[in-house]
């Protein structure tokens, strides 16, 4: 490529010309054809006052429908002018390496052979912010994001968060809405404006008051404190703790465990989670009983039990990592990618407007992924029998074999009862009819039977309490007396 098509990118720093690095100042003075992404910068104002001249590209913002289109047009202009003039200077606010999309596009143009590219570093607005706030970005895991492109995924790392480009009320409003999904309304936000200039302003405001109290300008950034509850850091700490417990000097019990020895604990923790879930209102999390505060204790217990179950998952992932098989990040990435693949109606062009259509697609995709000729071969045989039958009927229903209607389930139950009365072996048919009947009620036989058993336990304990209060020995009562006591126990408030 001809060396005459050259773009020299210059970082203007965060404030006036006193923070402009010497190499950048020389380039702006020696290169006759000069462009600035925006004239709204204190260093440009001072340079113009000193007799410097350059063409501002602010009009590209008014002529484009969105920012990406604006940046593409700016880069096209620079490449065209470099081809005409040989070398052009291009000045951007702060550092060319921080939150500067046009520089990324110029790098792509250079890789494509359209231009030669030289980048002269500048002092970043972020560096000025870290100095002003007394934050070491490396030690604290700080993060810099663009306010115009802020998403919830940007909030996962948990360190101090510096949000740039907050130059308009609409940007501030969008930022506030996104932040309120993860931060408490009373979170203190540090508003950084015009750092390094005589009218520098550093104020603090509650997140809930951000839109009302902040008057943004083109040199406005927001700084949020580290967030302890961020998912990413919390998971990293849990994995690191699990690894520590396995090392020499850690916990002897943890160090002795294998995948096999942990199996029973995984099952126990899973069942304990189910036990707590059964304590939640049936309409949780959205129903009135779930949001009235009555579910608070159950949710507290659920958080505890989910933590125990999660630890088992992390433990197995750490063991697999020690074996060189995979690590916890592979587990997370794997389930993430699987969910994307199995939701083509969300992330692709497949249409699925009903739950039934979604489940049919899911089973077909799962079958293709596993390379199986049968959609029922992937059901784990080790499942409890009722749960296994439920999954089997669900698979059958996905191809139209088992029709999930109350009428058909009751008819099957009647046939099974008739066969049993005739002495035929039809108990399995009766149980399957019960499984299908439960499915027609948006439930499953496993849960129904477990709930019935729990109610039975409560009534039995109530009966024992009554017997104790009346000094009765249950083992010495007649069937009639036991029956009367059982009926009385069924009317107590504890059932």
* Domain edge (last residue) among 341, 371, 391: 341
33 shares a domain with 84 = yes
Burial class (CB in 10 A: 0-12, 13-18, 19+), 480: exposed
246 shares a domain with 198 = no
Q: How far apart are CA 95 and CA 106, in angstroms?
A: 15
Task: Say which CATH number the domain at 107 has.
Answer: 3.40.1010.10
184 shares a domain with 246 = no
Model pLDDT, residue 205: 94
Query: For residue 1, is it within any domain?
Result: no
Site of tokens 């072996």: 425
* Domain edge (last residue) among 182, 207, 224: 224
Model pLDDT, residue 2: 45
Model pLDDT, residue 406: 87
Residues shown for the chain: 495
pTM, two decimals, is 0.53
Nearest residue to 190 via CA among 233, 168, 161: 161
Give SS3 for 103.
helix
Model pLDDT, residue 187: 92
Query: For residue 218, is it within any domain?
Result: yes
Query: For residue 69, is it within any domain?
Result: yes
Nearest residue to 54 via CA among 73, 82, 31, 23: 31
Helix 259-277 and helix 296-322, axial crossing angle in degrees, nearest 10: 160
Model pLDDT, residue 294: 56
Q: How far apart are CA 220 and CA 331, in angstroms?
A: 40
Query: For residue 190, is it within any domain?
Result: yes
- Pairing state of beta strands 34-36 and 188-193? unpaired
User: In angstroms, what CA-CA distances link 202 with 103, 189, 192, 225, 263?
Assistant: 29, 10, 5, 15, 55
Query: For residue 347, is it within any domain?
Result: no
299 shares a domain with 247 = yes
Extract the tokens encoding 479: 């069937």
* Contact (Cβ atoms closer than 8 angstroms) between residue 95 and residue 14: no
**DSSP state, residue 475:** G
- Give the number of domains in the chain: 5
pLDDT digits (tens, 9 = 90+) for 449-472: 888 988 999 999 999 999 999 999
Model pLDDT, residue 400: 75
Model pLDDT, residue 292: 53
Query: For residue 276, is it within any domain?
Result: yes
329 shares a domain with 239 = yes
Query: For residue 401, is it within any domain?
Result: yes
In the structure, how many helices (H) and strands (E) does the chain have? Answer: 22, 10
**DSSP state, residue 6:** E
Strand ranges, E, within 87-215: 87-92, 116-120, 143-146, 161-164, 188-193, 201-206
Identify the segments of the chain with pLDDT beneath 70: 1-3, 228-230, 287-295, 371-372, 402-404, 493-495
* Contact (Cβ atoms closer than 8 angstroms) between residue 31 and residue 7: no
**DSSP state, residue 279:** T
Domain with 200, as residue range(s), is 127-224
Extract the tokens encoding 302: 């659920």
* Domain edge (last residue) among 174, 196, 224: 224
Model pLDDT, residue 6: 93
Extract the tokens encoding 427: 């108990």
334 shares a domain with 242 = yes
Query: For residue 364, is it within any domain?
Result: no
* Contact (Cβ atoms closer than 8 angstroms) between residue 35 and residue 55: yes
């Amino acid at each position: 490529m001809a060396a005459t098509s050259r773009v020299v990118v210059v970082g203007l720093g965060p404030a006036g010309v006193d923070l402009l690095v010497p190499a950048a100042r020389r380039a702006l003075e020696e290169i006759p054809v000069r462009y600035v992404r925006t004239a709204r910068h204190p260093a440009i104002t001072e340079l113009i006052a000193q007799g410097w001249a350059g063409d501002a590209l602010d009009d590209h913002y008014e002529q484009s429908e969105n920012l990406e289109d604006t940046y593409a047009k700016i880069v096209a202009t620079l490449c065209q002018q470099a081809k005409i003039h040989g070398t052009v200077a291009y000045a951007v606010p702060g550092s060319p390496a921080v939150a500067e999309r046009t520089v990324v596009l110029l790098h792509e143009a250079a890789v494509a052979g359209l231009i030669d590219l030289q980048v002269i570093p500048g002092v970043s607005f972020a560096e000025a912010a870290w100095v002003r706030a007394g934050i070491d970005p490396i030690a604290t895991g700080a993060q810099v994001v663009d306010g115009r492109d802020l998403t919830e995924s940007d909030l996962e790392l948990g360190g101090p968060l510096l949000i740039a480009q907050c130059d308009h009320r609409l940007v501030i409003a969008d930022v506030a809405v996104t932040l309120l999904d993860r931060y408490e309304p009373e979170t203190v936000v540090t508003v950084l404006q015009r750092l390094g200039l005589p009218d520098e302003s550093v104020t603090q405001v509650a997140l809930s008051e951000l839109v009302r109290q902040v008057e943004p300008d083109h040199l406005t950034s927001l700084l949020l404190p580290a967030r302890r509850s961020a998912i990413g850091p919390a998971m990293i700490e849990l994995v690191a703790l699990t690894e520590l417990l396995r090392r020499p000097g850690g916990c002897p019990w943890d160090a002795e465990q294998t995948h096999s020895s942990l199996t029973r604990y995984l099952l126990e923790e899973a069942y304990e989670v189910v036990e707590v879930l059964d304590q939640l209102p049936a309409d949780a999390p959205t129903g009135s009983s779930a949001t009235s505060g009555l579910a608070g204790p159950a949710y507290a217990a659920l958080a505890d039990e989910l933590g125990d179950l999660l630890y088992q998952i992390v433990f197995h992932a750490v063991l697999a990592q020690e074996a060189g098989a995979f690590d916890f990040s592979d587990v997370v990435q794997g389930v993430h990618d699987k969910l994307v693949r199995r939701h083509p109606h969300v992330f692709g062009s497949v249409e699925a407007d009903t739950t039934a259509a979604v489940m049919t697609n899911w089973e077909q995709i799962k079958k293709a992924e596993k390379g199986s000729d049968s959609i029922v071969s992937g059901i784990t045989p080790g499942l409890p029998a009722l749960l296994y039958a439920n999954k089997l009927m669900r698979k059958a229903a996905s191809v139209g074999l088992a029709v999930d209607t109350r009428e058909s389930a009751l008819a099957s139950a009647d046939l099974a009862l008739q066969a049993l009365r005739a002495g035929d072996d039809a108990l399995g048919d009766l149980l399957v009819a019960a499984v299908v009947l439960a499915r027609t009620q948006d439930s499953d036989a496993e849960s129904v039977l477990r709930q019935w058993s729990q109610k039975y336990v409560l009534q039995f304990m109530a009966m024992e309490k009554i017997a104790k209060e009346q000094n009765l020995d249950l083992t010495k009562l007649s069937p009639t007396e036991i029956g009367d006591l059982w009926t009385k126990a069924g009317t107590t408030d504890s059932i």
